[in-house]
Amino acid sequence: MKVRELFDKLARSDKKLVNPDRAGREIVRVEYDSRRVSENIGIIFACVKGDNTDGHDHAAQAVSRGAAALLCERELPIGVPQIITHGTRAAMGEAASVVYGKPSEKLKMTGVTGTNGKTTTAYITRSVIRASGARAGMIGTIVYDDAVEESFAEHTTPEGPDIQRLLSEMAENGASHCVMEASSHGLEQGRLEGCGFDAVGFSNLTPEHLEYHNDMESYFMAKRRLFSDYARGDWKGAVNAGDVFGARLAEEFRENTLPFSAGEQAYGGRMYGVRILRETQEGMTVSVTYPGGSSFTADSPLVGRHNALNILESAVLGDALGFGEDIIKKGIENCPQIPGRLERFSIANGVTVFVDYAHSADGMEQALTTLKNLAYGPIRVLWGAGGDRTPLKRPIVGEIMARLADHVVISTDNPRSENPADIARGVEEGVNKCARRVRCDTILNRGEAIDFILNSAQSGDIVLIAGKGPERFIDYGTRKEPFVDRDHVLEWARSRKVEAATR
């Protein structure tokens, strides 16, 4: 595709073409990192303004490395064709969509958003699609799946050009569907430009990322964009009507939304519902009820009321995509444990370990409440708050752990630029304020902390290692050290010559 053709196809009223005499250059890729520009490929470099850097300052370097054109917000004194438009970050997603042949139009697109539950819902929904015999890709927090192979994810919602490249690869690989997690940052920054969704889901909204969004209303309005700005055609939306913000979406988009709830109101024939029929540490059996009164039961290795809601949301999305109850049931039952989402390890010494991503107050309360209902003995929990994030949640989570667990170990998560000891003191404050007195140890080295809590556990105990889930590094700001909680648990078991079963 030539620069002129790309310019003509961009649906932007403020666009301007600079150096049009050179607009016959061929473009095959959109890049926003000058280090990824290479010669003679046909790259248009997008000059994105970030928190710490401005891509306009790297435009000359990108051109020297072979960029054939620029996408920017102001004209630059560089002799290559330049498409000028407001908001380069959003514009580059649309531009990449055009360059890659609008791949989202070749796929049945499902997007899920909310504070908690996105990843689990995405995994189960992909499993439902696969149960139908269709091929599906996925873009999410843990992996990017191009419908042939998976790679580790860098961001929940990647930058626009990366999304469009992944969608293009899915289509080329024969996928008919894509399931995507939509983060509030990605929605707010316009990373989903060039995408349209046939089915969308909303799980819940709890205080998180307020250092970015400032308040809950702004946070909600970012999530709402999945429904207002990116849903297409005769779209359907699965919304948790038991959440106050979900209820707002269900009311505002009444004609398109399919409300669900785990509350009693779900059984009055007005919405989808779910009941947990049986639950053990090894999984649960749920009953999913449709508005018309039909229902089915399904077995899942997941546990907890919050996961029952994630299963229900996936069932509603499956219904919105046109799959029958038998396919949805099969998809739920075929979906294994989700990496780092109350991922269970049964240790041969009688201890059960769960690795979970719970890093918010709501996530911790859900995880510990679930495990408390399943526990035969004491519950031990390890957690550390992330740095450079709102410190308000640190004592709150500390109090929750002291209230619901029997042994608390405070450790390091991703301290970033903060002192890990200072972060730990904030958590300790909450533990000490709890009326229920429990043992509390602070061990900042995460590997040593995991060893310590596992060595302390006795047969019948449950150990929850929370905060990082499947993350592969500890972020110290200036460096990232490789570390995976589940791998450390398995290494601990191997070093003590005990088996650790994951199913």
Helix pair 446-456, 485-495: axis angle to 10 deg: 50
Neighbours of 489 (CB within 10 A): 23
How far apart CA 48 and CA 87 sit, in angstroms, is 8
How far apart CA 278 and CA 198 sit, in angstroms, is 34
Question: For the chain, what is the total number of helices (H) and then of strands (E)?
Answer: 16, 25
Reading the block at residue 55, the tokens are 């891509």
DSSP class of residue 7 equals H
pLDDT of residue 8: 96
H-assigned helices in 132-253: 160-172, 184-188, 210-213, 216-228, 244-252
How far apart CA 285 and CA 277 sit, in angstroms, is 5
Q: Which domains does the chain have, with CATH numbers?
A: 3-99 (3.40.1390.10), 103-334 (3.40.1190.10), 343-501 (3.90.190.20)
Are residues 203 and 114 in contact, defined by beta-carbon separation less than 8 angstroms? yes
Nearest to 487 by CA among 467, 477, 473: 473
pLDDT of residue 136: 98
Per residue in 388-422, pLDDT tens?
988 999 999 999 999 999 999 999 999 999 999 99
pLDDT of residue 502: 80
| Dihedral Cα 191, 195, 199, 201, nearest 10 deg | 0
Helix pair 361-374, 305-320: axis angle to 10 deg: 110
DSSP state letters, 39-86: TTS-EEEE--B-SS-BGGGGHHHHHHTT--EEEESS--S-SS-EEE-S
pLDDT of residue 415: 97
- Positions of the chain with pLDDT lower than 50, given as ranges: none
CA distances from 113 to 128, 133, 494 (A): 18, 25, 38
How far apart CA 305 and CA 289 sit, in angstroms, is 15
Nearest to 124 by CA among 354, 357, 338, 339: 338
Q: Are strands 480-482 and 462-466 parallel, antiparallel or unpaired?
A: unpaired
**Coil, helix or strand at residue 173:** coil
Nearest to 468 by CA among 345, 358, 367: 358
pTM summary value: 0.94
Q: Return the sign of the alpha-carbon dihedral for residues 188, 192, 194, 198.
A: negative
| Dihedral Cα 122, 128, 134, 139, nearest 10 deg | 0
How far apart CA 292 and CA 470 sit, in angstroms, is 39
pLDDT of residue 264: 67
- Helix, strand, coil % (nearest 5) of the chain? 40, 25, 40
Burial degree of 56 (CB within 10 A; 0-12, 13-18, 19+):
middle
